[in-house]
Amino acid sequence: FALFTKNQRQWSAKPLEAETVDKFKKNLEKSGIEPKHALAHDSYLINLGHPEAQKRQKSYEAFVDEVERCMLLGLDRLNFHPGSHLKKISEDECLDLIAENMNRTLEHTKGVSLVLENTAGQGSNLGWKFEHLAHIIDKVEDKSRVGVCIDTCHMFTAGYDIRTKEIYDTSMAEFGKIVGFEYLMGMHLNDSKPDLGSHVDRHDSIGRGKIGLEAFRYIMNDPRMDDIPLILETIDQSIWAEEIRLLYSLQES
Sign of the Cα torsion 165, 166, 169, 171 reads negative
253: pLDDT strictly greater than 80: no
pLDDT-derived band at 14 (thresholds 50, 70, 90) equals very high
Give which of 65, 61, 132, 56 is closest to 88, Cα–Cα: 56
Specify whether 85 is catalytic. Answer: no
Which residue is catalytic, options 56, 69, 145, 188? 188
Specify whether 217 is catalytic. Answer: no
Which residue is catalytic, options 65, 68, 76, 117? 117
Q: What is the pLDDT of residues 104-155, one digit of tens each?
A: 999 999 999 999 999 999 999 999 999 999 999 999 999 999 999 999 999 9
Give which of 102, 105, 98 is closest to 47, Cα–Cα: 98
Give which of 199, 209, 204, 206 is closest to 220, Cα–Cα: 206
> What's 169's DSSP letter?
H
Which residue is catalytic, options 50, 69, 77, 81? 81
Domains of the chain: 2-249 (3.20.20.150)
Q: What is the pLDDT of residues 85-101, one digit of tens each?
A: 999 999 999 999 999 99
Given a contact cutoff of 8 angstroms between Cβ atoms, the answer to whether 61 and 26 are in contact is no
Give which of 40, 101, 90, 30 is closest to 66, Cα–Cα: 40
Which residue is catalytic, options 85, 132, 145, 203? 203
Specify whether 108 is catalytic. Answer: no
Specify whether 208 is catalytic. Answer: no
Neighbours of 32 (CB within 10 A): 7
Q: Go through 45-58 and write b for each residue having 16 or more CB atoms within 10 A of its CB, e for each that does not.
A: ebbbbbbeeeebeb
pTM, two decimal places: 0.97
Specify whether 44 is catalytic. Answer: yes
Specify whether 233 is catalytic. Answer: yes
Specify whether 183 is catalytic. Answer: no
Q: What is the pLDDT of residues 23-62, one digit of tens each?
A: 999 999 999 999 999 999 999 999 999 999 999 999 999 9
Angstrom distance (rounded) from CA 13 to CA 108: 20
Specify whether 37 is catalytic. Answer: no
